[in-house]
Amino acid sequence: MPNQLNDHIVKSYDDERSRLINEILRMGEMAAAQLESALDVVERRDDKAAERIIANDEAIDALEHEVSQDVMKLALRGPMARDLREILAALRIAADIERIGDYAANVAKRSTALNLAPPLPHTRGLTVLGQLAVRQVRDVLVAFRTNDAEAAQRVRDQDAEIDTVYTSLFRELLTYMMEDPRAITPSTHLLFMAKNIERIGDHATNIAENIWFLVHGDEALPPRDKRDETNTVS
Amino acid sequence: MPNQLNDHIVKSYDDERSRLINEILRMGEMAAAQLESALDVVERRDDKAAERIIANDEAIDALEHEVSQDVMKLALRGPMARDLREILAALRIAADIERIGDYAANVAKRSTALNLAPPLPHTRGLTVLGQLAVRQVRDVLVAFRTNDAEAAQRVRDQDAEIDTVYTSLFRELLTYMMEDPRAITPSTHLLFMAKNIERIGDHATNIAENIWFLVHGDEALPPRDKRDETNTVS
**In chain B, domain spans:** 3-232
CA A205 to chain centre: 9
CATH superfamily of B3-232: Phosphate transport system protein phou homolog 2; domain 2 (1.20.58.220)
**A85 contacts B72 by C-beta, under 8 angstroms:** yes
A70 CA: distance to closest CA in chain B (Å):
12
Calpha distance B129→B134 (Å, rounded): 9
The per-residue pLDDT for B169 is 95
Distance, CA of B52 to CA of B38 (rounded, Å): 10
* Any A CB within 8 A of B88 CB: yes
Q: Is B135 exposed, middle or buried (0-12, 13-18, 19+ CB in 10 A)?
A: middle
Q: Which long-range contacts (CB under 8 A, 24 or more apart) does A120-124 make?
A: A120/A176, A120/A183, A120/A186, A120/A187, A120/A190, A122/A169, A122/A172, A122/A173, A122/A176, A122/A187, A122/A190, A123/A42, A123/A43, A123/A190
Task: Give which of A93, A103, A80, A101 is closest to A23, Cα–Cα.
Answer: A93
The residue in chain A having the minimum alpha-carbon distance to the alpha carbon of residue B82 is: A72
Cα separations in angstroms, A98 against A26, A62, A207, B213 = 12, 9, 12, 18
pLDDT bracket for residue A1 (50, 70, 90): very low
Assign A62 to helix, strand or coil: helix
Query: Is B85's CB within 8 Å of A72's CB?
Result: yes
Rounded Cα distance between B137 and B149, Å, is: 15
Contact indicator for B123, B176 with CB cutoff of 8 Å: no
Helix, strand, coil share (%) of chain A residues, nearest 5? 85, 0, 15
CB B104 within 8 A of CB B171: no
Q: Are B113 and A232 within 8 A, CB to CB?
A: yes
Is the Cβ of B117 closer than 8 Å to some Cβ of chain A?
Answer: yes
State whether B177 and A192 contact (CB < 8 Å). no
Q: How confident is the model at residue A147 (pLDDT cuts 50, 70, 90)?
A: very high
ipTM: 0.86
The answer to whether the CB of A90 falls within 8 A of the CB of A141 is no
Residue B174 has pLDDT above 80, yes or no: yes
Residues of A in contact with B91 (CB under 8 A): 88, 91-92
pLDDT (tens digit per residue) in B177-209: 999 999 999 999 999 999 999 999 999 999 999
pLDDT at residue B73, rounded to an integer: 92
Q: Which residue of A has its CA nearest to B178?
A: A181
Confidence grade of residue A9 (pLDDT, cut at 50, 70, 90): low
| A96-133 per-position pLDDT tens digit | 999 999 999 999 999 999 999 998 887 889 999 999 99
DSSP letter for A188, please. Answer: H
User: Residue B1: which pLDDT band, with cuts at 50, 70 and 90?
Assistant: very low
Residue among A64, A60, A74 nearest A30 (CA): A60
Least confident of A53-62, A79-88, A187-196, B138-147: A79-88
Q: Choosing among A71, A231, A232, A233, which should be mutated to test the B contact, i.e. which has the most B CBs within 10 A?
A: A231
pLDDT at residue B228, as a whole number? 66
